[in-house]
Chain A
């Protein structure tokens, strides 16, 4: 009995990491936008759904792989348009306006998806070789999950390299600390924010395609995935991408483990974790005091 329990626990830690990886992908995009532009993007879930649906629409023509590549770019282009047309207008204003604007956009996206693709969920198929478990014993590690984790790892690594070694990346990091000074130094803050937003939405679109392979594609799916990302950011500390990364993995593992011990609390544990972090370390695990206050 005890052996089985430990085995179960191990299963769930691995599994939690897999789930956490997915939260991370979503939360990092959200975090990028929040850090540089001070906008909590409530429409992030909406972009995720659009990413999923675009992939669904493209799949018959481009196949799964084509859709996987094309959809995030198309989503990012839509995101860029939305940012230029609407969101850029609330930069520098009270964060309240960014919240309300994206909150309204979330409605528009959800209903827009319903108008275009219908309220009925859509079946998004993934290649057969991915939708199988790798081994009988570790049946919960399917090809698709491994693929997802690999994708997330590669994307996060790329993102961190981009932020560290490219000019734009360094500017984004500097802007996160003090955009005003960066702008005074002659950097085009407007372009920087747009680029940053597009990268964030690219990640949301990618999350959408990946989620579509695992979950049912339907207009309301984004809203449910938004809250764990929020918590990941709070736990990790606002302003720190590493924090978001750790936060996402942490809540994934926590909810995975709790699902074994006390299933009804598997979601509540994320909130408990957040409360504990806020009590013990109010700025979050990797947050710096003074950041975004």
Chain B
């Protein structure tokens, strides 16, 4: 079959069509670079805007953009406007590292935010550390970032896996049962999350009936669910994230497992709940931030502001991560009146977030010893349907302060080495 059966040359119309399609995409594409002004404070953000974490990364970007807008409206950082440079890590470490170098070496950013993917977060932290640039990891959860792989210039906003486990474990044990079965995504994040939860379980005196390790990107969980149900536990902990969790919960609901076993998990996100049909929204979870906090200062205004910028969608924990990351930098730089990386990193230790940024009832501060933000856990239950609002899919039962869920600094394995 070497002879082409027809070799119609591409008509001009086809080319025009392709050009038109590209043009349409141009308009549809939300351009992320703001105007480059001469004397600005450059802030870089790296997140996986394509690939499986695209939805959460895009929400972080909404938060970061809003923070930049707010800071700029209030006079900027040291009287200079913030210029946001956003790069897609494409969920790939090599690309992420490359973008970090580009932002730091070529664009000369003063502050770096990112990445959702723990592996990329760790890798770009290595770069920011090498170049002495203040860096806040907005959404990568793996313990190492503020544990054994910590750096003097790296802070983190979202929880560690240990904190997530500690926030839910006791409630689950006391209220729902002593025999736990795990469905764990088979990669570092999943392993640390599961180990943290098992450690708590053992401490309380419970037993683990089994641990199903599922490869990342598993679409069919039935084989694991069959095993889990056969083990007859009190609680089934679902630890996968993102689309894996959506798939798993969808199948749990179809199998009717939630009617026999308590379904629970540690980290849950609004992005995931919204991607599920109502019947799959079950279980006891922790949210890292939730948009409905009656009576807490500033939350309603924040929600209203974000809604204006996101096509009516409420902020998720991710939006808040992005917002808090940039606000922390702006606040501390304005307080210290400097952009020097080392000075800012020093000043951020023990820095407490003001009420209009922390947007939660408890005290919220960066810990000096490991650079972890002590932020609250919102523990509660998934709701099948939103009552007052279609996006109100979680009922918060308790809000646990960050320093209650976090292990002491001495146990994190972090030793900060400051530059001489």
Instruction: Classify A-B as touching or not with yes or no (CB < 8 A).
Output: yes
Contact check, A123 vs B277: say whether CB atoms are below 8 A apart: yes
Q: Which of A15, A216, A267 has the most CB of B within 10 A?
A: A216
Contacts A124-B277, A190-B5, A224-B219 hold; do A89 and B10 have CB atoms under 8 A apart?
yes
Chain A residue nearest in CB terms to B316: A120
A119 to B17, CA, bound (A): 25
Q: Is B28 an interface residue (CB 8 A)?
A: yes
What chain B residues lie within 8 Å of A271 (beta carbons)? none
In the bound complex, do residue A215 and residue B250 qualify as a contact, i.e. CB atoms below 8 Å apart? yes
- Nearest residue (CB) in B for A5 is B230
Q: Is the CB of A12 within 8 A of B223?
A: yes
Pick from B51, B222, B243, B255: contact of A19, CB below 8 A. B222
Instruction: Flag B210-244 by CB within 8 Å of A: 1 or 0 each.
Output: 00111101111011111101100000000000010
Distance to closest chain B CB from A101 (angstroms): 13
Does B1 sit at the interface, judged by CB under 8 A? yes
- For the complex formed, measure the closest distance between the CB of A67 and the CB atoms of chain B, giving whole angstroms: 14
Answer yes or no: B78 CB below 8 A from chain A CBs.
Answer: no
> B403 near A: Cβ within 8 Å?
no
What total count of A-B pairs have CB within 8 Å? 149
B246 within 8 A of partner (CB): yes
Q: A216 and B250 in contact (CB under 8 A), knowing A91-B5, A120-B274, A256-B223?
A: yes
Q: Beyond A115-B28, A119-B54, A220-B51, is A140–B226 a contact (Cβ under 8 Å)? A: yes
Task: Please measure, in the bound complex, the distance between the C-alpha atom of A122 and the C-alpha atom of B273, giving whole angstroms.
Answer: 10
Complex-state Cα separation, A225 to B219, whole angstroms: 8
A193: nearest chain-B partner, CB-CB: B5
**Identity of the chain B residue whose Cβ is nearest the Cβ of A211 in the assembled complex:** B219
A12-B223, A122-B275, A131-B254 known; A183-B243 Cβ under 8 A: no
A63 in contact (CB, < 8 A)? no
Residues of B close to A131: CB separation below 8 A: 253-254, 279
Residues of chain A from 244 to 278 with CB closer than 8 A to chain B in the complex: 255-256, 259-260, 263-264, 266-267
Within 8 Å by CB of B230, from A8, A112, A180, lies A8
> Provided the pairs A115-B28, A180-B1, A266-B215 are in contact, do residues A8 and B227 lie with their beta carbons within 8 angstroms?
yes
Are B54 and A219 touching (Cβ within 8 A)? yes
Q: A166 at the A/B interface (Cβ < 8 Å)?
A: no
Q: With an 8 A cutoff between CB atoms, is B69 at the interface?
A: no
Residues of A within 8 A of B55 (CB): 118-121, 218
Partner of A121, one of B1, B218, B243: B243
Residues in B whose Cβ lies below 8 Å from that of A122:
275
Closest-CB distance, A268 to chain B (whole angstroms) = 9
Our pick among B50, B57, B217, B278 for the contact of A125 (Cβ within 8 Å) is B278
Asked if B33 is an interface residue, CB under 8 A from chain A, the answer is no
Contacts known (A4-B230, A92-B2, A218-B243); A120 close to B271, Cβ less than 8 A: yes
- Chain A interface, >50% SS class: helix
Q: Does B8 contact A (CB under 8 A)?
A: yes
| CB pair A91 B226 closer than 8 Å | no
A180: B residues at CB distance < 8 A? 1, 3
Within 8 A of A (CB), among B1-15: 1-8, 10, 14
Bound CA–CA A91/B275 (angstroms): 39
On chain A, the number of residues with a Cβ less than 8 Å from chain B's Cβ atoms is: 61
Given A123-B274, A266-B215, A266-B223, A139 and B250 touching (CB < 8 A)?
A: no
CB distance from B10 to the nearest CB of A (A): 7
**A133→B215 contact, CB < 8 A:** no
Interface residues of A in 229-257 (CB under 8 A from B): 255-256
A273–B302 alpha-carbon span in the complex (Å):
54
Give CA–CA (A184, B295) in the complex, Å.
80
Instruction: For the complex formed, measure the closest distance between the CB of A159 and the CB atoms of chain B, giving whole angstroms.
Output: 23
A118-B55, A139-B229, A224-B219 known; A216-B254 Cβ under 8 A: no
In the assembled complex, the Cα of A124 lies from the Cα of B275 at a distance in Å of 8
Q: Is the CB of B1 within 8 A of A92?
A: yes
Could you tell me if A133 and B256 are in contact, using CB atoms closer than 8 angstroms? yes
Greatest chain B CB density within 10 A among A120, A211, A221 is at A120
* From A114, A131, A215, residue with most partner B Cβ within 10 Å: A215
Chain B residues whose C-beta falls within 8 Å of the C-beta of A110 in the assembled complex? 50
Please tell me if the beta carbons of A38 and B58 are within 8 angstroms of each other in the complex: no
Say which residue of A115, A119, A260, A264 sits within 8 Å of B186 (CB atoms). A264
Bitwise, A94-112 to B at CB < 8 A (1) or not (0) is: 0000000000000000111
B331 within 8 A of A: no
How far, in Å, is B218 (CB) from chain A's closest CB? 8
> B279 contacts which chain A residues (CB < 8 A)?
128, 131
Q: Does A217 contact B (CB under 8 A)?
A: yes
A221 lies within 8 A of B243 (CB): yes
Min CB distance A28 to B, Å, is 18
Q: Are B217 and A224 in contact (CB under 8 A)?
A: yes
Q: Is A220 touching B254 in the complex (CB atoms < 8 A)?
A: no
In the complex, B29 has a CB within 8 A of chain A: yes
Within 8 A of B (CB), among A125-168: 125-126, 128, 131-133, 139-140, 142, 144
Decide if B251 is an interface residue (CB 8 Å cutoff): yes
Instruction: Please list the 5 inter-chain residue pairs (A to B) with the smallest Cβ-Cβ separation, ordered nearest first.
Output: A121-B275, A216-B246, A259-B223, A92-B4, A119-B54
Residues on A lying within 8 angstroms of B by beta carbon are 4, 8, 11-12, 15-16, 18-19, 38, 85, 88-89, 91-93, 110-112, 114-115, 118-126, 128, 131-133, 139-140, 142, 144, 179-180, 183, 189-190, 211, 214-221, 224-225, 255-256, 259-260, 263-264, 266-267
Other CB < 8 Å A-B pairs besides A15-B226, A91-B4, A267-B218, 5 of them? A38-B1, A121-B271, A122-B275, A216-B246, A217-B275
Q: What are 6 inter-chain pairs, A to B, with CB distance below 8 A?
A: A91-B5, A131-B279, A220-B54, A263-B212, A263-B223, A264-B215
